[in-house]
């Protein structure tokens, strides 16, 4: 059977990490077997709709390389792919379900109409004993004809236990008495989340449905709708939640980082996607770095985990560093440029700076903290020149920096490699160890105990004029102190 999967997000804001992981698993199930991946926009809860959120969905999926085979913008044989454009379809099937005995008309004073959607999306049980269930179909239709507002509610008359299979959790039983007869079609004609998904998944011939394990308890309600219509349910793949810690799930409503937040913090989309693939799935070996095409080949539903996955920003940061180091020099420099433009205004050799930073940073956002001293020399403590390992103190620093200041105006070419050779020669000529020259130069140029680059790398980045100016500042301060 050729797999057909769908990612069906609600356009309610940024892309939550859990949502992106669901999309990835749907995509991998389809692509690992040569199937189709669909994008469907679930915008039936109009009160939660956020302007521009659909564009964020498109942009996120394209950014990480998960292109869809069918969807609102590319079309397909099963459209429309936006639920608000499918209202007549839901109405038709809702009334048909009533005729088949799987639902009934309800005239009770409606609660806030988004509550049913929100309760369903958060898997919140909300038992409702509906007196309208006792109305005859003729009486209900007469009230509708008279203009009385109504909803369509699911009818659950079965007793005993619902039994179904899940690819992750195996065979599951749930008592029918635990199920709520929720609203399927609201007074405004829009379906609720649970009904629209069943109808669309069937009509679009979806074979596999991936969703969070919090929806396991609702699955019998979906299966009853399939059963009433005589349809075959899809293969269910319920995945564990992504947790912030052992007690709290990761949630965009609680302000936890979205995909867009992580990108803004300097994480690479490819690294984020790689990391979230491992939040609930393992390849069966120790390998951790995967491209999307490699994931397509390695992924299998059988290796999805039952246990919740904790989002570890430290692990993601490590993985992001691996990806940064694998970039070509040209790509890294291109990605770094916007960060340079935000924090650096003085003329610098930015290509040389990129060469220094790429092996040493873990996120692009590290650039600001790693380069602030290049923009402005800090007012550093002269005690930094004292280093037992390098066998330097303030007098050694002063005696090393004087000949350096005299040498640098004549150095040609002004490059890291040539500067390094020239300063090594200067150290030998003056009876000093290399570190006794290079260490004071680095402190004079940076005013920091640790830096991403060495002395001559910093000099190459700063340029001759600024390098000499900073060395003269150090000599003046050391002379005044001495």
Active site residue 252: yes
The residue among 322, 254, 264 whose CA lies nearest residue 288 is: 322
- The torsion of the CA quartet 236, 125, 307, 197, rounded to 10 degrees, works out to 30
**CA pair distance 206, 2, nearest whole angstrom:** 10
User: Which residue bears the tokens 């077997």?
Assistant: 33
Handedness of CA 10, 13, 18, 21 (dihedral sign): positive
**Strand, helix or coil at 280?**
coil
**CA pair distance 397, 440, nearest whole angstrom:** 5
**CA pair distance 331, 327, nearest whole angstrom:** 6
Neighbours of 147 (CB within 10 A): 7
121 Cβ contact list (under 8 Å, min separation 6): 10, 193
User: Which residue bears the tokens 């639920």?
Assistant: 83
Given the residues 252, 389, 402, 425, the one annotated as active site: 252
**Residues facing residue 164 across a β-bridge:** 172
DSSP 35-58: -EEEE-B----GGG--TTHHHHHH
Handedness of CA 410, 413, 414, 418 (dihedral sign): negative
Local structure of residue 129 (DSSP, 8 states): -
**CA pair distance 292, 377, nearest whole angstrom:** 43
The residue among 419, 415, 10 whose CA lies nearest residue 197 is: 10
Local structure of residue 131 (DSSP, 8 states): G
Question: Are 36 and 2 a contacting pair, CB within 8 Å?
Answer: yes
Active site residues: 252
């Amino acid at each position: 059977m050729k797999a057909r999967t769908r990612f069906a997000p609600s356009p309610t804001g940024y892309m939550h990490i859990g949502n992106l992981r669901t999309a990835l698993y749907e995509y991998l199930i389809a692509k690992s077997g040569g199937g189709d991946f669909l994008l469907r926009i679930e915008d039936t809860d109009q009160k939660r709709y956020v302007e521009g959120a659909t564009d964020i969905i498109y942009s996120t999926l394209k950014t990480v390389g998960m292109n869809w085979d069918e969807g609102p913008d590319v079309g397909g044989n099963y459209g429309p792919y936006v639920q608000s454009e499918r209202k007549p379809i839901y109405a038709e099937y809702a009334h048909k379900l009533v005729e088949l005995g799987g639902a009934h008309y309800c005239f009770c004073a409606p609660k806030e109409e988004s509550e049913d959607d929100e309760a369903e999306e958060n898997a919140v049980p909300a038992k409702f004993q509906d007196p309208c269930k006792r109305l005859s179909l003729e009486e209900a239709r007469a009230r509708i004809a008279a203009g009385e507002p109504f909803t369509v509610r699911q009818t659950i008359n079965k007793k005993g236990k619902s039994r179904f299979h899940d690819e992750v959790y195996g065979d599951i039983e749930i008592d029918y008495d635990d199920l709520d007869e929720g609203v399927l079609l609201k007074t405004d004609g829009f379906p609720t989340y649970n009904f629209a998904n069943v109808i669309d998944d069937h009509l679009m011939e979806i074979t596999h449905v991936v969703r969070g394990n919090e929806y396991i308890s609702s699955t019998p309600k979906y299966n009853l709708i399939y059963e009433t219509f005589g349809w075959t349910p899809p293969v269910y793949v319920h995945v564990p939640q992504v947790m912030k810690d052992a007690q709290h799930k990761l949630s965009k409503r609680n302000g936890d980082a979205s995909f867009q937040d992580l990108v803004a913090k300097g994480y690479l989309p490819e690294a984020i996607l790689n990391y979230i693939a491992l939040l609930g799935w393992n390849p069966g070996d120790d390998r951790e770095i995967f491209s999307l095409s490699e994931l397509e080949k390695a992924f299998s539903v059988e290796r999805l985990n039952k246990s919740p996955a904790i989002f570890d920003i430290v692990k993601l940061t490590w993985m992001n560093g691996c990806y940064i180091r694998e970039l070509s020099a040209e790509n890294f420099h291109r990605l770094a440029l916007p960060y340079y433009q935000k924090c650096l205004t003085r003329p610098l050799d930015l290509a040389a700076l990129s060469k220094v930073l790429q092996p040493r940073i873990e996120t692009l956002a590290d650039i600001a903290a790693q380069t602030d001293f290049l923009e402005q020399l800090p007012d550093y403590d002269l005690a930094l020149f004292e280093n037992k390992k390098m066998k330097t103190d303030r007098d050694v620093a002063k005696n090393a920096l004087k000949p350096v200041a005299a040498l640098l105006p004549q150095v040609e070419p002004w490059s890291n490699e040539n500067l390094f050779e020239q300063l090594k020669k200067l150290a030998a000529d003056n009876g000093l160890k290399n570190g006794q020259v290079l260490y004071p130069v680095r402190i004079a140029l940076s005013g920091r105990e640790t830096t991403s680059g060495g002395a001559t790398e910093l000099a190459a980045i700063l340029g001759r004029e600024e390098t000499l100016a900073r060395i003269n500042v150090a000599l003046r301060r050391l002379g005044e102190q001495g």
